Amino acid sequence: MYSIIVWLNPPHQYPVPGPAVDSEGYHPAGERPHVFNPPAATRLAYGHYPDREEAEMALASIERDLTDNIPIRIVHNKGQATIFSIPPDSVYYVVLARADK
């Protein structure tokens, strides 16, 4: 099993916002950390792959997107449809590594 992890720029470079609240004091449902409220995620799993060849193809796709200044899309919690669109300048580095079970 191989995993690709996207590390984001260190959070100390950006202001830490308070909890997301609209003008009427409403908090979004779910209030999941890293989505509506701090702390900001420092890394996100891009994907997990059964073999190295498939993982390297995914990494090459990420490299092309970053080179072309295209945001990386990462889907988490497929049932809840949480999608992160990460601008290239927010990516610190990307790692492909073997994940031992």
Residue 84 is predicted with a pLDDT of 87
Put simply, whether the predicted model's pTM sits higher than 0.95 gets the answer: no
Residue 13 is predicted with a pLDDT of 47
Give residue limits of the domains in the chain: 2-98
Residue 88 is predicted with a pLDDT of 94
Query: Residue 95: beta bridge partners?
Result: 5
Q: Tell me the CA distances in angstroms from 91 to 19, 45, 61, 101, one per residue in order.
A: 23, 13, 15, 27
Structure token pair of residue 46: 């891009």
Asked if 75 and 83 touch (Cβ cutoff 8 Å), the reply is: yes
What are the pLDDT tens digits along the chain (101 aa)? 999 999 998 765 445 555 555 555 555 555 555 565 666 678 889 999 999 999 999 999 999 999 999 999 998 876 667 888 999 999 999 999 998 86
Q: Of how many residues is the chain composed?
A: 101
